[in-house]
Structure 1
Amino acid sequence: MSLQPIEPFDDSRIEHRHAVLNGHRYHYLYGVPPSGKYSHTVFLIHGWPDLSLGWRYQIPLLLDMGFRVVAPDLMGFGGTDAPKVPPNPINLYGLKRASDDIAELAKQLGAERIILGGHDWGGFVVWRAAQWHPELISHVFSVCTPYTAPHREYISLEQIVAGSLPQFAYQIHLGSGRVEKVVNSEDTIRQFLKGMYGARGPNKEESFDPNQGVLSENLPKIGESRLLNGKVLDYYVQEYSRHGIHSTLNWYRTRKANWEEDLALLDKKVITIPTLFIQATYDSVLKPEMSLSMGKSLPNLTRGEVAATHWALTQKPEEVNAIIRHWLVDQGLEKVKSSL
């Protein structure tokens, strides 16, 4: 299957658009098949530290299959607004707000029903969006991020790290305010992004450890990344330099706010619509064992797996796309014959 990923700065297959959603301006990628006709609309939601362009290998597949594609930058990322907290509430960076903004964008685009895909934080968003807006979401797929149900009791990040998920300790570091004091210029953003996407120093130095966070002392040593380089890296550096990294880290400061809003979903723990989960075998944070019990809450779950790290979308795009395509066809959603 030949793949030509979306180019960051100039690609005739997509448009860079903007919309005001519930009072804040969003940037999003928008594409329709060459014929101008589409069978369904697919929304793609990215994670951290990523952008809508993180779906650059999946967008061509979906367009070729006859879908309209919408991929927004989340709050605080890229061309989307980055409201300061305070004075604004941290909920602006929460799962409910993201779900509501997806619903508003779908409404503005005239989409009564959408297929929703997510990765990393975007995966968490799409599971919740299916619960907050069940009338809108017809199908959900998530890459790397397993489904976790709303909890009646609040469990702090510190409790989670001390318990079964020590690899979540990096989230404490990301939310602490210390990272943005180091990653605060185009040069340090570039080194940071290369390191997050797998680059190492001359002696295999890493810039990120799940059990610690960002290893700032190693940032100057980081070389080139095979996953994020060239024009795409330039685009990411440009987009992350708009607001700085602080606003993207607000997503790691929302645990209490998300829990409080999740309480309204305690009777909606089961998601009955068709769902797809794609596990990345070598994800060092969202490990395979975390997804073992999710089928209890997802009665129409399909599973797939790729031998990749957390960056499966760009590390193993052909394998990821094959799983997504097969699932969409099985769901009877493909109306236009694929040429890929």
Structure 2
Amino acid sequence: MKKSGGLLLTLVYTFLLFSAAAFAEPSVIMSEGKYVLGDLDTKKDAKVQALIEAKRTAMEKAGTYLESSSEVKNFQLSQDQIKTMAAGIMSVEIVKEDWKMSGENMVLTIQIRATIDTSNLKDRISRMQEGDNTEGLKDVQNQLAALQKELADLKKLSQQSDGRGTKKPPTQEMKDKHESLVKEMSVLEYMEKGDIATINQRWEEAAEAYGQVISRNPRLIDAYARKAYALYFLRKLDDALAVTDQALAMDSSSVRNLGVKALILKDQPGKVDLALITINEAIKLKPDAPKLYRFRGEVFIKMGKFRIAQEDFVRACKMGAKESCARAKGLAEKMKGARNK
């Protein structure tokens, strides 16, 4: 009996190890998206729309796959968080483009291979929960969906016939509107790419994506702060500071840029006092932003004011910034250890 019991335990243990290893291995999902070209569409437009559709389908499949993970279940993530996580761990490759005529219209079908990398899943989930880009990414994805609907409605309008059944050519107003929507979608796609890269701490990729956003829409102030934040973690402090200054020259009350600027200044020689002035200015403009108190806590640590820093971390924690809870706990233990010496 003892022998068979030991054998059973060994088999169960082996099965569990195999299952964990299998889930950690990258998984491949095949997906496709279709787009019917209208009178206003170019082939480039069609490819963008078909790819968005293929990626959305793959993301839904990846989300279902992730939900089967015990790690995801343990964290009790919302559907939006699972969707965000799926986007962050998915790399996409186009494997096939198929152009065909359907009646009077050209139809593009794109097939993609989405590789789902679930390695270090627990760490990725923790980073996602600690960051503030999750909500930003959700907003971007909602805006993309809204723009797609606008494009679809515009396409229907451009294909209407007159009372005699003759198809009317698109007006210049329709053409201008279509061009504007396509440009706006291009900006949001790069913003989405940057947010996903930030959540996964791929800072080079994030900085490049936000740079593309700025080049397409230089008035999108938040993109400057996001790019500067990525450059900060790449330790390109002078470049990061130049980006925030560029944004603040256009909008001196940009809270996000002021917050990131303070973070950068605290790490530059002789500028910690200026960092404190800057972060206080940001907090005055938006006192309900928990991340700003975490940033100020980091400034106080740089100044050697650990007790005040602890107060800011605790405040940010109570306001819902989970990363600040861990920071507050770690600093409290550090101060306690120093007192006991």
Same fold (TM over 0.5): no
| TM-score normalised per structure 2 | 0.24
Higher strand share: 1
| TM-score normalised per structure 1 | 0.24
Higher helix share: 2
Kindly name which structure, 1 or 2, has the bigger radius of gyration based on alpha carbons: 2
